[in-house]
Structure 1
Amino acid sequence: MKVPVKEEFLKRMKELLKEEYEAFLKEYEKKPQKGLRVNTLKIDVENFKKIAPFEIEPIPWCPTGFYYEKEEKAGNHLYHVLGLYYIQEPTAMAVVEVLDPKPGEKILDVSAAPGGKTTHIASKIGDEGLIVANEIDRKRIRALEENVARMGIRNIVLLNERPERLIQAFEGYFDKIVVDAPCSGEGMFRKDPAARRIWSLNNVLSCSITQRNILRSVAPLLKRGGVLVYSTCTFSPEENEGVIKKFLEENPEFEVVESELSHFFDKGHPEWVDGPKELEKCMRLWPHKVRGEGHFIAKLKKNGEDVNVNFKRKVEKKKHQKELELFYQFADKYLDLDLEILNLQVDNNFVYHVPLDLPELKGIRIYRHGWLMGELKKNRFEPSHWLAMGLKPSQIKRVLELDKFQREKYLNGETFELDEEDGWILFTAENFPAGWGRVAKGVVKNYFPKWLRDIEVWEE
């Protein structure tokens, strides 16, 4: 095995896999599998295939997912910056495919950063429905926000809260929940040296306690008849079948259900945890059996009749009407958007479209109240990059396609001359929104975000 790992881990895997152990071990002599997922909020799969900048190969269990070669710099490409795709490990794409989100559903992603599952859900439900993306780690939630903005997701709220506190606002609220639980990361050993270094049996057991606590916290948030998908990127039975076994014992209203995708993957192993036979309906994605790093997935259904709960929220447009005047002036001049469909609210000078179906969130730590329109500053409104990426060019009154010279300047955060009337312009690249610029006396002030300027190359 070329990837150095601890002997205790290897011994455990040999005991579990028996005659398959050598095939599992040999897989670690190969390079990690790389994948990207097309953002269908911006482009459909067929059109992406026509413009794909490098060779791609379909991932069987994800209609929008593709393998690409590790040598390709997919994260450095213009299309990545424009939000046309999300780089994601191939087996991780199976989680939301198993969840099977539908337009109009209310969906919770419990441990959402950096955004792989969240952005995948959004591509499934479009603008019809609501995503609540929660991340307890304040440092990681910034990456979640950046990915959500880059992908142009509008019907979403970002929370920074402990899972057990969500019951204050969301009991019986969600149609579907995904718990991609923090784990010991054994499926990341091939590509992540840190995961190999910190692995220990104590960490495995500690993770299993955390995982059980998260599931215990979010179970009441699901409607009767709703679906909860639990996943990890690890192999240990304690964190997988063992967690589900304990959860079923504590929550008899739940059952493990078969997924339509189960034929792609191995079954769960109830015998590893002395569990019920229904644990066979869980799915194990082994790196020696599928092209990917590895995952465990359990699809759970909450049985019983749904109880209609009235989740009321105050619409506070009148309260903020005066504050919003600067936004309305901006919108009148630059946007071709039906403002009546927006539920505009102001928080700390930030203007949001807050999804109407959202309940009151009193006592809940909110990171972003919804789709961030921009910020109210002294005597003006400054639009956000998130607003730019969530709009279609047809919804902007001033749009300019950047030429090659302008694009290089813009994407590197530089100013450049432009013979245009003073004011805001949405710049596009290959007819996709790239971000805002503001013309003043023939010079463009650049509003391309600093967090996107670190890309090394902008080749086509």
Structure 2
Amino acid sequence: MIALPDKYCENMKILLKEDGFNSYMESFTEKPRPAFRINTLKTDLQTWKKICPFNTETVPWCEKGFITGTEARALLPKHPYYFAGLYYIQEPSAMLPASVLPIEKGDRVLDLCAAPGGKAVEIAAKLNGSGLLVANDISVSRAMALAKNLQMAGASNVMVTAEPPERLTPCFKEYFDKIILDVPCSGEGMFRREPEIIKNWIDKGPVYYSRIQKDILREAYHMLKPGGSLVYSTCTFS
């Protein structure tokens, strides 16, 4: 069992109540199962089901997402289909934000905290060569990985930037029809998969990141067209 901070457990008990908290703690005894989402710029559901080399079940909230067994973990990032851009390895929960963003043909879309690119790849697939996707990450090294993943996916009409949000706002004031904002956070949703993140939670905690999130959200708001849609997400409970 992973040793979670006492303060975190207290917060989760309040948030989830006793039954929910007990179920949540039990989940830490389970091994995370790998998952992936197919890239409809390169394939479609019907074709994929015919050629899929893995035993899978569909992610309930994403028809293009699939969960597979732990035995496939090592093969997923090495299979030729991966390098051909047919699928993107992604946690099931991370598939939700881009799935619910109502992309329409010709939209101008901003993924403001885009690296490593899972959500940007899905947005590009929804745009299918129309409109414009600006995929940004403040880290240059992460933006390079983002660009690589978008290229591997066959995405077009995409601009990759590596800027702090406040540098983008003057260039794109009220410009975007849709914005997806998967902000930096203390990583509570990653504790099971990456227990080393717990130390970061102890050192900084949610309050540190909440200030950053508010600043990013403020800039995103100014880049959104009046009447546009913004999806805000984190992998954090508090």
Which TM class, normalised by the smaller chain length?
over 0.9
Q: Does 1:123 align with 2:122?
A: no
Partner of 2:149: 147
| Equivalent residue, structure 1, for 2:14 | 15
* Cα distance in 1, alignment partners of residues 33 and 107 from structure 2: 32
Query: Partner residue of 1:74?
Result: 76
Residues 1:24 and 2:40 aligned together: no
Q: CA deviation at 1:193?
A: 2.0
SS in 2 for 1:157: strand
Aligned residues: 235
Offset at 1:201? Answer: 7.4
Q: Which secondary structure does the structure 2 equivalent of 1:4 belong to?
A: coil
Q: CA RMSD in A?
A: 1.2
Counterparts of 1:218 and 1:11 in 2: how far apart (Å)?
33
Gaps of 5+ in 2: none
Maintained 8 Å contact 2:186/2:204: no
Measured in 2, the distance between the counterparts of 1:202 and 1:139 equals 23
CA deviation map 1:57-112 (0-9, x unaligned): 11121121111112202111110011000000001101011112122100000001
8 Å CA contact 1:181–1:231 kept in 2: the answer is yes
Larger of the two Rg values belongs to structure = 1
How much has 1:11 moved relative to structure 2? 1.9
C-alpha distance in 2 between matches for 1:24 and 1:203: 20
Counterparts of 2:65 and 2:131, CA distance in 1: 23
Deviation at 1:27, TM superposition (A): 1.0
Which string of whole-angstrom CA distances, capped at 9 and with x for unpartnered residues, describes residues 229-264 of structure 1?
10000101xxxxxxxxxxxxxxxxxxxxxxxxxxxx
What does residue 137 of structure 2 align with? 135
Q: Distance in 2 between matches of 1:153 and 1:70?
A: 29
Q: Secondary structure at the match of 2:37?
A: strand
Please give the alpha-carbon distance, in whole angstroms, between the structure 2 residues aligned to 1:22 and 1:225.
41
Displacement after TM superposition at 1:177 (Å): 0.2
| Structure 1: segments with no counterpart, 5+ residues | 237-460
SS in 2 for 1:227: strand
Q: 1:318-357 counterparts in 2 under 5 A? A: none
Q: Counterparts in 2 of 1:172-211, with a 5 A limit?
A: 172-200=174-202, 202-211=204-213
CA distance in 2, matches of 1:176, 1:201: 34
Aligned to 2:57: 57
Aligned counterpart, 1:4 = 3
Distance 1:38 1:149 in 2: 15
Secondary structure of the residue that 1:230 maps to in structure 2? strand
The answer to whether the 8 A contact 1:38-1:64 is kept is yes
How far apart are 1:225 and its partner, in Å?
A: 1.1
Q: Whose relative contact order is higher, 1 or 2, with alpha carbons under 8 Å and at least 6 apart?
A: 2
The TM-score with structure 1 as length reference comes to 0.50
Offset at 1:172? 1.1
Is residue 98 of structure 1 aligned with residue 100 of structure 2?
Answer: yes
Q: Any residues of structure 2 matched to 1:287-302 within 5 Å, and which?
A: none
The alignment partner of 1:57 has SS state of strand
Corresponding residue of 1:43: 43
Preserved contact between residue 110 and residue 177 of structure 1 (Cα < 8 Å)? yes
Report the Cα offset of residue 34 of structure 1: 2.1
Which aligned segments of 4 or more residues in structure 1 are displaced greater than 4 angstroms?
none
In the TM superposition, what is the alpha-carbon distance from 1:15 to its structure 2 partner? 2.4
TM-score, length of structure 2 as denominator length: 0.95
In structure 2, what is the equivalent of residue 213 of structure 1? 215
Identity of counterpart residues, as a percentage?
A: 45
Q: Which one-letter code corresponds to 1:92 in the other structure?
A: A
1:172 aligned partner, one-letter code: E
- Which structure carries more helix by proportion? 2
Of Structure 1 and Structure 2, the greater strand share is in: 1
C-alpha distance in 1 between matches for 2:4 and 2:138: 29
CA distance in 2 between partners of 1:191 and 1:21 (Å)? 18
